[in-house]
Structure formats: C-alpha cells, structure tokens
Structure 1
Amino acid sequence: MADVIPHRPDGRRFREADRGQMLVVAGLVMAVSLVALVVLLNATIYSENLATRGVEGADREAADVRATAVGGVGELIDATNRAGPAPNETVVKGVEALDQRMARSYAERGGVVHLTTNESRITRGKYVTTDGNATKLANATNATTYTFAGGVDRTRRFTLEIELESLANTTRSNATDEAFHVAFNGSDLSESQEVYVYRNTTTDRVIVANATGGGDPTVRCEIDPGTDGEVTVDLTDERLDDTPCFGVWPSALFAPSATYTIDFGNADAAEGTATATVRPRPTGTDVDADHAGVSPAVYDATIDLRYRTANFRFETTVRVAPGEPRA
C-alpha cells in the first residue's frame, strides 16, 4: 500500500495522520464484515423459508389424504348400516375398494396410497330408527314416554327429522310438561339430561333447549320455521338445521364409563323420525328398545393409512366413527 501519510520537514510523520490511517482501515474492515453478515443472514432466511414451505406443503398433502380416507370410510360405514344388516366383512371389502380408487387417484399426482383394515378392528353396534314404526316418534304402545335405546355407552349420528306443524306450541316455562324431549339417564349422570324441541308460542320460532333433572330448560338455539315443512335436529353434531346449537349434547356423554338410556318424553308432541347408531355394552349385544327398529350395524372402524411420494412419507392409524360427538 502506498505511503499516503505526509512527513514533517525533519522526516518524522505526523502523529494525527497515523490515527487517520488506522480509522480508514478499521472502517474498511467493518464495512466488509457488515456486508458478509448481511449476505449470510439473507441466505439463512431464504433457506428457512424454503424449508418451511416444504413442511407446510407436506402437512397439507398429508391432511388431504387423511381427510379423503376418513370421509370415504365414514360414508361407507353409514351407507352399509342404512342398507343393513351390516356384517363386518362388508366394510372390509368396501375399504379394499376405496383403497383401489384412492391409489388410482393419487398415482396421477405421483403418490402411492395404501388403506387397510380387518374384521377384528371393526366395532359392532346397532342401527336404531323409528322410521318403520307406524307412529314414528310417538310409540304405538306408549305414546308419551318410551325407550328409544338403552344399555349403550356411545352414540353417533343421532338425528331427529321433525314435521314443523306437529311441534307443540309452548313456552320455555311450560316445555317440561308440553314439549317433545329426549331424556338421557345413566349412572354417569347425577341427574337426567333433557333436550326439548318446540315452537315458541309468541315468536313461532323453532326452539331447542336443554335441562337437568326436569328443571327449567335453557335455550341453546332457535331458527325461523322456514318453508320446507321439516326441521332437522342433529343432537350429536349439535346443530339445528344449519345453525350451531352448542351445549345440547350432555358433556358427561362424550366419553362415559358406564351405559345410559335414551328415552323419549311427550313423544306425541312431535311427529317425525329419529335415527342413531349406538354401541351397546357388551359390544354387539341387543339394546333395550320399546320399538322394533333395531338392526346390526358397524359402529366404528380403525384403519391404517400409508402415503408416500418421491420425497415424502406419511403413516397413521385412525379410528373412524362418523358423527360421534366432538370426535
């Protein structure tokens, strides 16, 4: 490096010039260091973004495959139960067919899918419906109170299809005596749990409310009656038509340790059809019911799912119980 520091006449360097040169050199070093740091930081951020996008993409892909498999098996189970009676081998063969369809579909995207189950991983249950009864919700033997299903410890897809014109017109304070309701009784419940369905005398809106031990009901949701002549109350999915109805299903029945009974009260205060898939205890035994609408069914199925691509592998085991409360 050229000597750019001036000299005094006597040949000695200026002390201030020495300090200036040191400052220039230090500044150059700091500038180079900062540039290097910025380059490294940018490279790190870029690499992290690429890695994150890769993980998120894989997660979405895995979630899509899982949702397709669970949805397909769920539809298969319910369709088999409706056709009834439903032997376990029917569902096993259905899963094999679904596996082939999914394999063809995902092969076009460069993926390999394999879906399996067997009879030992399928839980037997009962499909319970009032659809075959002449009076449907109002049992012919005892129109006001009867057992829909007893001796069960799990319930899914429990829905009520009710004709609007048949619903009792009443008020919240009179609902206990006048409105159709579903009552749950069991050793896990310190008191009975009731769900009421009626039309409000003043507003004419359809009301769903629940209560404990026959007390005053608490309104959970309500809708205008509409024009199609029917209303659907999905108890396990906690919905009134398309309106959320949170809190309707008793919290003690999400995963009870003992069996319970589902009864209908004031059953002549509504006309329609009730349908549910239940798991009795012991598994596969008959349920208690004051009607004839009980047939063998599949309650749930456990499946193994594997999916892989050139750079991604996903394996999981899933229990499929469509319509189970908060499953």
Structure 2
Amino acid sequence: MAAMIPAFDGDDPRERFRDADRGQLLLISGLVVAVSLVALVVLLNASIYGENVATRGVEAADGEALEVRAAVVEETGARLDAANRDGSTSDADIEASVDAIDRNLTARYASRGGIAAVDLLSTTPGQYLTGSVNDSTTIGEVDRIRAFSVANGSDLPSTEAAAFTVVLNDTAANTTHEVYLYENDGDVVVARGENGSTPTERCRYPASGDPAVLDLTGDRLDGEPCPMVWPESLSDEDDGPFDIEFENADEAEAEVTATVGTDANPESDTALTVRDAVYAATIEFRYRTADLRFETPIRVAPGEPDA
C-alpha cells in the first residue's frame, strides 16, 4: 500500500519567507522614495534661496547706481541753471562745471569701493529770458521750453475775469491754452482753459503775502504740486512751435523766467532780458563696483515738461 503524502495547509515556511521578503522590499522602496523626496525639497529650497540672494544683490547694486545717477543729474541741472543766470555758458565753462562734478564723484565713491565718473558729451544752445512782461510781450516760435515760471510783483486780481493770464497759442493746431493766476477768499488760485472756454481750477493754496511763483512747466505753485497746468500737447517739440502771450500782466507787475530753444523770438517793450544760454547738456555717466558695471548717456534739461 503506497504511503500517502499529507497536503500543505498554507503554513509552509517557504511561503512565509517569500512574504517577508516582499514586505522588506516594499519597506525599503518606500524609504528610498521618502529620502529622495526630502533630498529634492532640500535642493529646491537651496536653489530658490540662492536665486533670491543673487537677485537681492543685483537690485541693491542697481538701486545704488540709480541713486548716484539721480544725484549727478540734479547737480548737473543746477550748474546749468546757475551758468545761465550768471551768463557763464561757454563750452569751457560748462565743461569745467562737469569736471568739478566728476572730481567730487571720484572722491566720494572711491572710499566706498566704487568708481563713478561723468563726462560732457555735448550741449544744446538756447536762450535765457528773465524780467518784466506786459500785455504787449510775445515770445514767439517756441519749440522747446523749460523752467518757465511767472510771478506777480503787486497784488493779484481777486476775480477770474481779471486774472493775470498766460496764453499759450498753438498756431499749428489753431488752439489756445489759457493759464489763470488770481486770488480768491485768501487763496492763490491757478486755473486753465482752452480756446477761451470756462477754465478748470487746477490748485489753490493760502496766500502767504509774498509774490506767488507759478512754475508752469513743472506744474507747481510756490513749490507745491499743481497738476495739469502745462498742456500735454505742448510737451513734445515734434508737435511744432507755439507762441506765448500775456494778459492783465501790467496790473500784476508780472515777472517771467524761462529757458527756451534758439528758435524763440521774444518781443517786448519791457525790461525783458534775453541772452544766449544752454538749453540742455548730454553727459556720459559711468559707475562700477565689484558686482556692477553701469554706463549710460544722459540728457539733462532741468524743468522741462514731461512728454
């Protein structure tokens, strides 16, 4: 009689070993995936941090260069205006002024590890106007104008109808822009109209008792903001020349200061003084540090209306 072989009941030790092997493999695989994910996160964070640090460094260097650039533009503009007032506007005078700025920059930033320099490239001639105007005064064929301000020598009219008025006559467009300066209820008021229409008030500030100074191209009254005084259509020299006239200027004893392009043709029977000037200058500005090299030409025309 043949011997009977007992059937397996599912508790074979070899099956248990195979199950254990699969569990260990699954556990090890999970651990490898977890470690890989952690390593990926660490690498990603390191990359982001490094990029942020590098970006902050570039922005800081750019900001410093732009700060120096702004200071150079301001100083150059101030020296141009001083030269126009003094009549010292020869090429040698302007170049000497720019050289003085260059020496100051070199000394100031050498101790900080930077190299800053500025050179004069060219100048644009113009005319400097200053003095009294009246109702007969005309400044014709103005293609460019900057630092254009008016002031009263006596009390301003108390009504809009009698206001001291600057008329900007755009003959090519057959349009006039009127800027009114007067007092109302203890305030100095600036308003602007077009083609003789009802003017719109642009700003008002308490009268100080001193002459009111209206900077037309800079949109400011006594140093305070006075928006939209200067017509946008006259900000671009490509739009063609325009004429400047005055109304009720006699009563206000009006005084004018402006720097205009050489095509201007002032006519006045008052003490308006006209002399050659520098309208704009182009300089080359350079700034270098260990992390940055910044070099650019800059056109300087202080008080020019925004285009």
Q: TM-score by structure 2 length?
A: 0.89
**Deviations along 1:211-243, whole A, 9 cap, x unmatched?**
1111211111111113x4222211111011243
Tell me the residue number matched to 1:133.
Answer: none
Structure-2 change in CA distance of 1:310 and 1:10 (3 Å): closer
The Cα shift of 1:302 comes to 0.4
> What amino acid is the match of 2:219?
E
Tell me the residue number matched to 1:125.
Answer: 126
Which consecutive unaligned segments of at least 5 residues does structure 2 have?
Answer: 1-9
State the aligned residue count. 295
Within the candidate set 144, 155, 158, 1:154 is matched to 144
Tell me the residue number matched to 1:224.
Answer: 206
Structure-2 change in CA distance of 1:184 and 1:122 (3 Å): same
Tell me the residue number matched to 1:259.
Answer: 241
> What amino acid is the match of 1:56?
E
Q: Give 1:161-240 correspondences, 5 Å limit.
A: 161-163=151-153, 166-170=155-159, 175=160, 177-200=161-184, 203-226=185-208, 228-240=209-221
> What amino acid is the match of 2:76?
V
The Cα shift of 1:19 comes to 4.5
Tell me the residue number matched to 1:44.
Answer: 47
Structure-2 change in CA distance of 1:129 and 1:23 (3 Å): same
Structure-2 change in CA distance of 1:208 and 1:41 (3 Å): same
Within the candidate set 264, 267, 277, 1:289 is matched to 267
Within the candidate set 290, 307, 318, 2:298 is matched to 318
> What amino acid is the match of 2:80?
I
Structure-2 change in CA distance of 1:255 and 1:269 (3 Å): same
CA contact under 8 A between 1:128 and 1:149: conserved in structure 2?
no
CA contact under 8 A between 2:61 and 2:291: conserved in structure 1?
no
Indicate the SS of the match to 1:86.
coil
Tell me the residue number matched to 1:250.
Answer: 231
CA contact under 8 A between 2:62 and 2:292: conserved in structure 1?
no
CA contact under 8 A between 2:141 and 2:241: conserved in structure 1?
yes
Deviates more, 1:185-194 or 1:250-259: 185-194
* Identity within the alignment, %: 46
The whole-number CA distance in structure 2 between the counterparts of 1:186 and 1:57 is 45
The Cα shift of 1:18 comes to 4.7
CA contact under 8 A between 1:150 and 1:288: conserved in structure 2?
yes
CA RMSD between the two structures: 2.0
- Whose Rg is larger? 2
